[in-house]
Amino acid sequence: MPAYRPEEIEKKWQAHWKAHSTFQAHNHSEKPKYYVLDMFPYPSGAGLHVGHPLGYIASDIVTRFKRLHGFNVLHPMGFDSFGLPAEQYAIQTGQHPALTTDQNIETYIKQLSSLGFSYDWSREVRTSDPAYYKWTQWIFLKLFNSWYNLDTNKAEPLTDLTARFAERGSEGINAAGDADERQVFTAGQWQLFTEQQKLAAVHPYRLAYQQDTYVNWCPGLGTVLSNDEVKDGLSERGGFPVERRLMPQWNLRITAYADRLLQGLDTLDWPDAVKEMQRNWIGKSIGAEVTFPVQDHKNAQIKVYTTRVDTIYGATFLVLAPEHELVDELTTPGQRAAVDEYIAATKRRSERDRMADTKTVSGVFTGAYGLNPVNQEPVQIWLADYVLAGYGTGAVMAVPSGDQRDYVFAQHFGLPIPAISDAQQGLDQQADPTKEGRYINSGIINGLTYKEATPKLIAFLEEKGLGKGKVNFRLRDSIFGRQRYWGEPIPIYYKDGTAYGIAETDLPLVLPEINEYKPTETGEPPLGRAQNWLYRGQYPYELSTMPGWAGSSWYYLRYMDPTNEARFVGEEAEKYWGNVDLYMGGAEHATGHLLYARFWYLFLKDLGLVSSNEPFQKLINQGMILGRSNFVYRINGTNKFVSLGKKDQYETTALHADVNIVENDVLDIEAFKKWREEYGGAEFILEDNGTYLCGVEIEKMSKSKYNVVSPDVLIGKYGADALRLYEMFLGPLEQYKPWNTNGISGVSGFLKKLWRLFHPEDGDLAVTDEPATPVELKVLHKAIRKVQEDIDKFSFNTSVSVFMITVNELTALNSHKRAILEPLTVLLSPYAPHLAEELWQELGHEAGSISSASYPEFREEYLVEDTVVYPIAINGKVREQLQFPATATAAEIETGVLASDFLARFGEGKSAKKVIVVPGRMVNVVV
């Protein structure tokens, strides 16, 4: 065969793998199982750029490595195919989102296949496929028909709850959620309830429930957005204004699982940073719930949660969220206009902006006063946008001497800042939250320490019915509805205004066809446009759809048994695969997706439907590949561009240039003129050597910066194996790395050099069956040991270095022996699978069989040295090196040194007083 031609080899083996289902996993095997999962990609219209495959390449290397070690490996791929981008494109073009989504998926599959990933494509799932989202809807119905029993600490069917209602009413029910929202009734009253009344009584217990909730409403997009989709008060997509609005929304009671989600983190092999982010997001705190009566309002009370009840005597004002339910009732006529204006301004800010803005001080006095429950002192009630309605109680007990944010607020508005501890210092400058010292100005806890004061205050509040000790979590229930079209329909219908779950036998509830994909003229979600869309011909359906994270919360389970029509995953398949052994994906999913997926898994565990304790045992977050942007410099007011070396002579504006028309930072001027119409007549001031040199900056890879490099182009030029190796070679997997296309040519050269070990001078196969020499075996086994260690540590960049060193050493030895090259081919196959398959077949093995080969066994004896070179020193100063057998004893080495001419040459006529031998390292002669 002539020179190495990756374009021919790679297409050949990709076609072979597809035709022979080479990587198909089986749910029944005597082999140990290993489940490798890549995070679900959303198939955007832009396709993949070179930054996307980084994690896929790494997971594929592990997948192939595990197969070589005798594992039955599940390595699937599918698509998170519902989402807002496809819907927005549909609104703009009128084209059904399913069409663009399918087109984008086909592009993704083509690109992923061109990289040689060993996916089991027979298990592909798409969240927008009714056969898949039937089971997403089924899980929702299970949540809808379950409650969380705090006594058993698990989810249970609502039928168990209603049976208890019938037996003894609502008394003694210990359920997750807000007890204040629930009715109190006897068993007799329950029996007399109508169907509607029973459902109303049950609804606040459900794990999937409907409630008026503050959401990020975007009128321009006609939908609710998550906090992640809002930036600086605008939608990330389209830049439309977003406001906080109270709307009826479906919620999932993830808060019921807060403590279990927290405890489970200790069992996981995840990056510490990710686990810490989840701990902070869950935000467990131990404190007290305190009730402040409202002066002149007999039935009005403000509940606050505090972790520092010991500071309650220093609470000089209360701060409510502008959305708090009591605001309207408490606001006095004189403050009405100011309060209304402040609330209107707050609606234009997202929760994220309000939480992040620690510099702006804003607020408004309601005119009302609360009463401090421990001393009956009146405290002003203010509104401030740093308090959020959905966090805790939506009210804060402000202690300005102990909390800096309260301190700044109090200073700004001239509110009192009394000291409450004899250890507080510098209160004229800032708050001091110390727990040291003893309390002053603090009534019943005067003179006590923190440890003494806290239980005494809680006991006092509980005795007076004004508070209680409580564990709280920052985590909030998940808003589950979206006012969009392109998502899973929520399987709910309404009868006389009451929500019912559709029968499981009627699943899937398929998205109806509609004529437009935007909200109706009356403000209903897009599904309001569906004609005659009624459950069993008479009951209206829920018009919201599920959020994007619904389908991605359980997809890893469907991969185990994707064609099962009777169950979301078969029992045997689920028990065989258990959980995911290695999950690879971006750190941007540290809280959202990973938290929701764990929540759904724990819920399914409660129902006895899954067998492990957690879904993902090991998690790796690959770093981002950053773009290497190029810049041209336009002289201001002209269409003339000056090269980097001469730009300081002019006033210029730096403009991004397409990196695909730049090589080694030199601009292809003719291509630049053709790139954009306005540059067609551009003039250029060049370097002295006649080239145009571009500027360089490392930044995020993005279409807007024209620094996106398509893998298709590089595969066409260098081959997929070269791209795979180069992405791994860029640096440690978990770090951010700048992309530089120029470096891939070196990796391409390495593969050609490897090819020539089999095909000297690009000629015919010249592998011999001669026995390997000790030197050749040493080179091979050094590589086997190091690559094994590297893959076990997910240190893929150092493995590529090892391959390069090994090939260089074997080339220098002119080694063409099967005993060396055959194991080397297997060793390389996870990284460069196409070339390895080709060489494996040339070595006489069955076509496509390298995946079922055995990984080369490392043998220590090939690295044992026959001799050791010892540095020889006189009085600690090295003067000579002498070689001794590796088996030589200290006495034999001492005799050999003294028998040599070493002392005669370096001892200055002195005799040896002592000879110190450090075995395997050095010898020191003391004279």
What residues are designated binding site for ATP? 703
CA distances from 6 to 323, 717, 775, 838 (A): 63, 9, 31, 10
The strand pair at 652-657 and 625-635 is best described as: antiparallel
Instruction: Check: CB of residue 87 under 8 Å from CB of residue 517.
Output: yes
Q: CB count, 10 Å around CB of 256?
A: 26
The total number of residues shown for the chain amounts to: 927
User: Which residues neighbour 674 within 8 Å (Cβ) at sequence distance 6 or greater?
Assistant: 680
Beta bridge partners of 698: 628
Distance CA 414, CA 520 (A): 49
DSSP string, 832-876: SHHHHHHHHHHTTPPTT-GGGSPPPPP-GGGG--SEEEEEEEETT
Whole-angstrom distance, CA of residue 201 vs CA of residue 205: 8
- Beta bridge partners, 472, equal 285
Residue 606 DSSP SS3: helix
Are 470 and 305 spatial neighbours (Cβ–Cβ below 8 Å)? yes
What amino acid occupies position 503?
A
Q: How many CA atoms lie within 13 A of 698 on its CB side?
A: 9
Helix (H, G, I), strand (E, B) or coil at 174: coil
Quote the CA–CA distance of 361 and 385 in Å, as a whole number.
9
Query: Which residues have a Cβ under 8 Å from the Cβ of 494 and sit 6 or more positions away?
Result: 500, 539, 540, 541, 542
Question: Cα separation of 656 and 703, whole Å?
Answer: 11
First to last CA, the chain: 66
Nearest CA-CA partner of 346 in 355, 335, 334: 355
> Annotated binding residues, as ranges?
703
d(CA 917, CA 409): 73
Tokens of 618: 């090991």
Interacting residues of 643 by C-beta distance below 8 A, sequence separation 6+: 633, 684, 685, 686, 687, 691, 692, 693
Token pair listed for 733? 């997997």
Amino acid identity at 492 = I
**Cα–Cα dist 422/429, whole Å:** 16
Residue 782 belongs to what H/E stretch?
Answer: helix 774-792
User: CA-based diameter of the chain, in Å?
Assistant: 116
From CA 640, how far away is CA 731, in angstroms rounded? 39
Instruction: Answer whether 545's CB lies under 8 Å from 482's CB.
Output: yes
User: 284 forms bridges with which residues in the sheet?
Assistant: 473
Closest of 616, 480, 501, 623 to residue 550, by C-alpha: 480
CB 321 within 8 A of CB 339: no
Which residues make beta-bridge pairs with 225? 216
In Å, what is the CA distance from 537 to each residue of 130, 541, 917? 21, 10, 95
Task: For residue 348, give the nearest of 232, 248, 227, 223 by alpha carbon.
Answer: 232
Dist. CA 620–CA 587, nearest whole Å: 9
Helix (H, G, I), strand (E, B) or coil at 631: strand
Query: What is residue 424's DSSP assignment?
Result: -
Q: Which two tokens mark 909?
A: 């006529």
